[in-house]
Amino acid sequence: MRNIVILGSTGSIGKNALDIVDRNPDKLKVVGLAAGSNHEELARQVEKYRPTHVTLSDKTRLSTLKSTLSGSSVTVLEDTGFSNALEEISALPDTEVVLNAIVGVAGLRATASALVTGKIVALANKESMVAGGPILNALAEEHGGKIIPVDSEHSAIFQCLQAGKHDEIKRLVLTGSGGPFLDRVNLDDVPVSEALKHPNWNMGPKITIDSATMMNKGLEIIEAAYLFDLPAEKISVVIHPQSIVHSMVEFVDGAIIAQLSKPDMRLPIQNALLYPDRMPLDVCNLDLTEAISLEFRPPDMDKYISLKLAYRALNEGGISPTVLNAANEVAVKAFLDGRIKFTQICEIIRRTMDDLETGDIPDLNDVYRANMWAADVAEDFVYSYA
């Protein structure tokens, strides 16, 4: 039996992860659950999965959760002057895997804490890796932690890499559906409701908007570079509207290895939670007795400046990816709140990157500082547009 902690358990990835727990009751035991604000759903999950520890980041709702759970044996962790509840729950003893499915850079402390205590981090929270990848890699190395990707493209690449050695990789090919606006020319006045309609995946609002701007693919370029220790020029993107080929690795001899399955996040989640084992999962089976068309085309780099910005951040290194991620979080929230236009999201990211000088990031505190700094600058741009 493997003890696991699920962070972001009330979200899209979190709920899919609990479905994987339901399918593997003799292999996975939930010992910790954490969420942002949805105390009612979290209380239901506590009732069903009986973890030893639980926490909620929203302080007011945490009080409500505490009263709901009073009398039960679960320990409700909260922030104090000396401790951070997300860090604490990610460091629980006798826990093998922490699934980080929190959205945004808010998940960074938890990823670091799990790695420092030598755990496997099943990483959906790509913003952790984008904001602090080199530091997280160093922490994993120093403390014996390991990151197993949950993001479907990186999970695919992780699997494809079994076919060759690191120095035999010619390039990684990240696939992307192109989102809801693949064939739309003018993106100036797209309403929030349309940007929230992803053609193939049902996901949380932030990543759905990231998919519409293609910044999701931009974040994934940076995530891949850090996860697989490869330079920007060895990472490419191809548009694949069917979302069946989840990504590919091309080796030096020209062989391209791909991973295919139905678009369903439960496969990469299960693979990470049960790593290195595989278990049956019928929901992801492709029916190859029926005709399937697979289409690939290059992305329009002029339309999706998000990809250019991601390559720029990766090539600049240092704080640039942190800045890009922070500005994106601020801009996406502003768009969802109706404060800016869709096309202003990437404009704000570019202007924030232009405004801030690049610099090295020696440790996590510098990441938090750079993140706050960039978020403030981006917020000023939002204000100037609104």
Determine which residue in the list 30, 31, 62, 124 makes contact with ligand NDP, applying CB under 6 A. Answer: 124
Binding mask 190-229 for ligand NDP (x = CB under 6 A): -----------x-xx--x----------------------
Q: Shortest approach of ligand NDP to residue 333 CB, angstroms?
A: 12
Determine which residue in the list 157, 265, 267, 332 makes contact with ligand NDP, applying CB under 6 A. Answer: 265
**In the β-sheet with 2-7, what is the strand arrangement from edge to edge?**
75-76, 53-56, 28-35, 2-7, 97-100, 120-123, 146-149
What residues numbered 56-85 form the site for ligand NDP, per CB under 6 A?
Answer: 57
Residue 37 binds: one of ligand NDP, Mg ion, none (C-beta under 5 to 8 A by kind) = ligand NDP
Q: Shortest approach of ligand NDP to residue 100 CB, angstroms?
A: 8
Residue 68 binds: one of ligand NDP, Mg ion, none (C-beta under 5 to 8 A by kind) = none
Q: Which is nearer to ligand NDP, 12 or 175 (CB)?
A: 12
Q: Shortest approach of ligand NDP to residue 124 CB, angstroms?
A: 3
Q: Count of residues binding ligand NDP (CB under 6 A)? A: 27
What residues numbered 145-174 form the site for ligand NDP, per CB under 6 A?
Answer: 151
Residue 200 binds: one of ligand NDP, Mg ion, none (C-beta under 5 to 8 A by kind) = none
Task: Select the residue whose beta carbon is closest to Mg ion and give its number.
Answer: 151
Q: Shortest approach of ligand NDP to residue 271 CB, angstroms?
A: 13
The yes or no reply on residue 88 touching ligand NDP (CB under 6 A) is no
The yes or no reply on residue 37 touching ligand NDP (CB under 6 A) is yes
Footprint on this chain of ligand NDP (rule: CB under 6 A): 8-14, 34-38, 57, 101-103, 106, 124-127, 151, 201, 203-204, 207, 265
